[in-house]
Amino acid sequence: MSAPFRIDLRDVSTFPTRRDEAWRRSDLRRALPNPVEPAPDLARPSEGGPFAAVRAEETTFANGRLPDGGVFARLRLTDAPHRLRFVTSAEQGGWQAGVDVVVPAGVAATLLETYEGQGGYVGSVLLSFSLEAGASLERIVLMDEPSEAVSISASTVALGASARFAQTVVATGARLQRHETHLMHPGEAVTVRMDGLYLLSEARHADLTTVVVHEGGGGTSQVCKGVVTDRARAVFQGQIVVKPGADGTDARMRHDALLLSDTAEVDAKPELEIYADDVSCAHGNTVGALDDEALFYIASRGVPEAQARALLMQGFIGEVAERIAHEGAREVLAAFAAKRLEALT
Amino acid sequence: MAAVQQTLDAVKALEVDRYVHGFVTDIETEFAAKGLDADTVRFISAKKAEPKWMLDWRLEAFARWQAMEEPNWAKIGYPAIDYQNLYYYAAPKKKVLLDSLDQVDPELLATYAKLGIPLREQETLAGVKTAPRVAVDAVFDSVSVATTFKAELAKAGVLFMPISEALHEHPELVRKYLGSVVPVSDNYFACLNAAVFSDGSFVYIPPGVRCPMELSTYFRINAENTGQFERTLIIADRGSYVSYLEGCTAPMRDENQLHAAVVELVALEDSEIKYSTVQNWYPGDAEGRGGIYNFVTKRADCREARAKVSWTQVETGSAVTWKYPSCILRGDNSSGEFYSIAVTNGRQQADTGTKMIHLGKNTRSRIISKGISAGRSSNTYRGLVSSHRNAKGARNFTQCDSLLIGKECGAHTVPYVEAKNAHSVFEHEATTTRLSDDQLFYCQSRGLSTEESVALLVNGFVRDVLQELPMEFAVEAQKLVAVSLEGSVG
């Protein structure tokens, strides 16, 4: 099965390079030519973070450390929302952490995962999700990090029968920022949503990579949108694999990107690998500028151009937030995206 | 048990009949010694009495090739190729003059007959005055032996000849353009080709000329164990137009054969090149043994403004296909098209697609790819669409559809999209489905057999591409697709 790279920040030889197909557009060894020293300890940050408005339990890693000094957390989620925060403040140095998340049978959980901080740190998190039969998880990830940071978050997801997994990742990029998800889809009435949104400016780099492996039938729906300006670079790699015997699979993938500057770049690779015949799989991918005709139409209605642009872009990225089921989280994300978008244009 | 035996026999019978082009013509062949070293390269060059610069070019390619590694990123698997266990040169001993049909080896004519080279070309070869106007440059085991219509083409100023001949007659053109689209060390197989290519076609269309007929080459692999390394170079000068057809068949044999051709197209200002391929090489037996390895590098360079190149391919043969006909859209307002049908059955593996590199302003490209996999085959579309910073107004539309017939085959889509400016629009769509039961049922309820129904539905599936083929080719291709899928359902 597909799996994330085992990266050890102390050993440069474990850093993937552009010679590794999965990291072709996000060369980690180029970003980090030397081994990374451990970041110093950090005082406990105050509770809350971007999702402070949502009442929830909280687990926070400060410079990669839990309150007890540990680097590995085990979470057993309940019906109440849970905040998982990675807060870093370090001019240099880095940390590695691991999180094991279990959603017990029948529980409908919400995880609000945030990456926050300041400085030129390096963060690397490996998460492993396990949903028991009939469990459901909505995972909202917000990566709002400084432009000098290098941040990698890789997760594996295992699903029990009739489980439901929904994920929305919002990334604003960093020197190198990558969010990668590997999901084994067992079929049997399991449904999966794998959404993403990136809003990039300056020389930021964001990489959203997903691999969904269908071992049985079932549905997967993926919508990823992005807006890129200045000298930023976005990478979208979405792979859907349908194994032999995974009949009845219904997988849809969409990736749409808006390029607002001639020095920005979008690299997309929506990939289908199919070994069963009773399936329905489709992917669509577009990269382009705002539609001149739509702009003209709105302008002809008396709306100033800047506002018309904002309106169109809101409409463009709106779909991602709309697909979030948890109301509080949806509102936070929609507001965050709107503000970020404003800064881009 | 009797029933099982009967089935086995039936399948065996099918296999023998299946590949109608599986025969070996007995013509004395002159081989270069088996194996590959600098002397082999010198031998080939000497055989062709090539100028010194050409030999140096080959030797340099050979030196580079030795330092390269075989690529392994494609979704294909095959036993390691022993490059020292191949013949790199085989030429028919009886040199056939080009102007007189009497001198054509009767065996060769018989081969054409068996090949079912569309009859009009047969007639042409037989000297029938009223034959339709298609020029054939038949590459029979590495050396072009017959070129027809030379006179008429010459009248239009079109040069159409084996590349070995062009080296002597028009060295300035060959030297200027050879390797200018596919550099010597572009990739492993192209580099090998540069070192040992034996022959191929050379076409030059002078400025403002619309080539008076469709040019056609029949590639044919014949001698046992001979890898075929063809090199095609087509240059369309300003404001010219040419349509080029390439069709392939090969005899049945036991050992895998290597085919590493290079095709280079150069389109200058306002010119248009239409390149159509029907590839039907031996795909191997039911277990995939003995089929052709087809590792081809095809690339077009739209070098100046408003040039246009259109690739159309129907790939039904070969055990392994590794082929990405590409367009470099360098000239402003130039455009590239890629229409492809890839059919795999049995144990065939195809990893094919295209590259559209947008460098000039307002460049446009269009990709329509239809993949059909049946049996235990694997069919991959792999494509790249990229735009450079200066390619303002670049436009691409890509549509890749895959059709799966059967439980054990695979269909993959691996598109790469790289956009580097805010004024290009790239769209990509892909779907993968199986043959619809409803449609099959409907056809059968109308009295069609399963096989006829499949043929009809598949035909509809690939129609967008078929219409891009020149008419006579389209008819053949349609039949070929149906034949390739025989026995895949039911």
DSSP secondary structure string, B76-111? ---PPP-GGGSB--EEESSPPPSS-GGGS-HHHHHH
The angle formed by the CA atoms of residues A59, A152 and A88, to the nearest 5 degrees, is: 50
Residue A189 binned pLDDT confidence (cut-offs 50, 70, 90): confident
A289/B425 CB distance under 8 A: yes
- The stretches in chain B having pLDDT less than 50 are 1-4, 7-8, 11-17, 93-103, 119-120, 124-132, 141-146, 219-226, 250-252, 254
Residues B298, B335: Cα–Cα separation, whole Å:
16
- Give just the sign of the alpha carbon dihedral B277, B281, B285, B289: negative
Choose the mutation target among A222, A253, A262 for the interface with B, i.e. most B CBs under 10 Å: A262
A345/B contact by beta carbon, under 8 A: no
Q: For A266, which of B392, B419, B433 is closest by C-beta distance?
A: B419
A52/B contact by beta carbon, under 8 A: no
Give me B271's structure tokens: 């010119």
Question: Which residues are registered as beta bridge partners of B417?
Answer: A268, B385
**What pLDDT is attached to residue B20?**
53
Q: For B434, which of A264, A269, A278 is closest by C-beta distance?
A: A278
B416/A265 CB distance under 8 A: no
**What pLDDT is attached to residue B117?**
55
Find the residue in B nearest to A268 (Cα). Answer: B417
**Residue A184 to chain B, least CA–CA distance (Å):** 18
Residue the block writes with tokens 């062709």: B48
Residue the block writes with tokens 């970003």: A31
- Half-sphere CA count of B253, side-chain side, radius 13 A: 20
- Mean pLDDT of all residues belonging to chain A: 93
Give me A235's structure tokens: 């990478």
A224/B contact by beta carbon, under 8 A: no
A87 in a structural domain: yes
A293/B contact by beta carbon, under 8 A: no
Give me B72's structure tokens: 């392994």
A292/B contact by beta carbon, under 8 A: no
The pLDDT of residue A333 is above 90: yes
Measure CA A337 to chain center.
14
Phi-psi region at A298: left, alpha or beta (left = phi > 0; alpha = psi -120 to 50): alpha
A269/B416 CB distance under 8 A: yes
Kindly list the residues from chain B whose CB atom is less than 8 angstroms away from the CB atom of residue A273. Answer: 75, 410, 412
Mean pLDDT along residues A209-235:
94
How crowded is residue A106: how many other Cβ atoms within 10 Å of its Cβ?
A: 12
**Residue B429 to chain A, least CA–CA distance (Å):** 4
Give me B265's structure tokens: 């197209």
Question: What are the Cα distances from residue B228, in Å, to A39, B38, B51, B124, B442?
Answer: 60, 18, 22, 26, 46
Find the residue in B nearest to A292 (Cα). Answer: B423
A299 in a structural domain: no
Nearest Cα to B262, choosing from B343, B196, B344?
B196
A274/B contact by beta carbon, under 8 A: yes
Q: For A276, which of B389, B407, B425 is closest by C-beta distance?
A: B407
**What pLDDT is attached to residue B19?**
54
Q: Which residues contact B325 (CB under 8 A, 6 or more apart)?
A: B263, B275, B298, B299, B300, B311, B313, B338, B354
- Name the more confident of B255 and A51: A51
Choose the mutation target among B364, B413, B436 for the interface with A, i.e. most A CBs under 10 Å: B413
Q: For A287, which of B405, B407, B426 is closest by C-beta distance?
A: B426
Residues A102, A250: Cα–Cα separation, whole Å:
26
**Residue A135 to chain B, least CA–CA distance (Å):** 30
A287/B413 CB distance under 8 A: no
pLDDT digits (tens, 9 = 90+) for A242-271: 999 898 899 999 999 999 998 999 999 999
Kindly list the residues from chain B whose CB atom is less than 8 angstroms away from the CB atom of residue A280. Answer: 431-433
**What pLDDT is attached to residue B75?**
82
B416/A268 CB distance under 8 A: yes
Residues B207, B267: Cα–Cα separation, whole Å:
11
Nearest Cα to A186, choosing from A211, A209, A163, A166?
A163
A295/B contact by beta carbon, under 8 A: no
B433/A261 CB distance under 8 A: no
**Helix ranges, B370-462 (H):** 437-445, 450-461
Question: What are the Cα distances from residue B390, in Å, to A25, A290, B232?
Answer: 21, 18, 31
Q: For A289, which of B418, B422, B431 is closest by C-beta distance?
A: B422
Find the residue in B nearest to A263 (Cα). Answer: B421
Phi-psi region at B142: left, alpha or beta (left = phi > 0; alpha = psi -120 to 50): left
Q: Which residues contact B111 (CB under 8 A, 6 or more apart)?
A: B25, B140, B220, B222
**Residue B312 to chain A, least CA–CA distance (Å):** 23
A188 in a structural domain: yes
A259/B417 CB distance under 8 A: no
**What pLDDT is attached to residue B50?**
87
Q: For A274, which of B404, B423, B425 is closest by C-beta distance?
A: B404
Q: Which residues contact A267 (CB under 8 A, 6 or more apart)?
A: A25, A233, A234, A235, A236, B416, B417, B418, B419
Residues B291, B314: Cα–Cα separation, whole Å:
17
**What pLDDT is attached to residue B459?**
87
Give the three-class secondary structure for B155: helix
Report residue A23: phi and psi, to 5°.
Answer: -120, 20
- Give just the sign of the alpha carbon dihedral A315, A318, A323, A328: negative
Q: How many domains does chain A contain in total?
A: 1
**What pLDDT is attached to residue A51?**
94
A339 in a structural domain: no
Asked if A289 and A316 touch (Cβ cutoff 8 Å), the reply is no
Choose the mutation target among B420, B423, B454 for the interface with A, i.e. most A CBs under 10 Å: B420
**What pLDDT is attached to residue B142?**
46
A283/B413 CB distance under 8 A: yes
A336 in a structural domain: no
Question: Which residues in chain A (5-24) have CB-CB distances under 8 A to chain B?
Answer: 21
Q: For A277, which of B405, B420, B431 is closest by C-beta distance?
A: B405
Find the residue in A nearest to B437 (Cα). Answer: A278
**Residue B333 to chain A, least CA–CA distance (Å):** 18
Report residue A136: phi and psi, to 5°.
Answer: -140, 145
Nearest Cα to B352, choosing from B71, B75, B72?
B75
Q: For B415, which of A244, A270, A278 is closest by C-beta distance?
A: A270
Kindly list the residues from chain A whose CB atom is less than 8 angstroms away from the CB atom of residue B421. Answer: 259, 262-263
A47/B contact by beta carbon, under 8 A: no
Find the residue in A nearest to B428 (Cα). Answer: A285
Q: For A262, which of B409, B423, B431 is closest by C-beta distance?
A: B423
Single-letter residue type at A295 = L
A238 in a structural domain: yes
**Residue A57 to chain B, least CA–CA distance (Å):** 41
Choose the mutation target among A240, A259, A266, A279 for the interface with B, i.e. most B CBs under 10 Å: A259
A60 in a structural domain: yes
Burial of B299: CB neighbours in 10 Å, binned 0-12, 13-18, 19+: buried
Burial of B6: CB neighbours in 10 Å, binned 0-12, 13-18, 19+: exposed
Our CA dihedral for A12, A17, A21, A22, rounded to 10 degrees, sits at 60
Q: What is the DSSP string of B173-206?
A: HHHHHTTSSS-TTSSHHHHHHHHH--B-EEEEE-
A319 in a structural domain: no
- Tell me the helix, strand and coil percentages in chain A, rounded to 5: 15, 45, 35
Q: Which residues contact A77 (CB under 8 A, 6 or more apart)?
A: A101, A102, A103, A104, A107, A109, A111, A137
**Residue A152 to chain B, least CA–CA distance (Å):** 22
A-B contacts at Cβ under 8 angstroms: 121
A274/B432 CB distance under 8 A: yes
A268/B contact by beta carbon, under 8 A: yes
Out of A204-213, A299-308, B101-110, pick the least confident. B101-110
Residue A152 sits in which domain range? 12-289
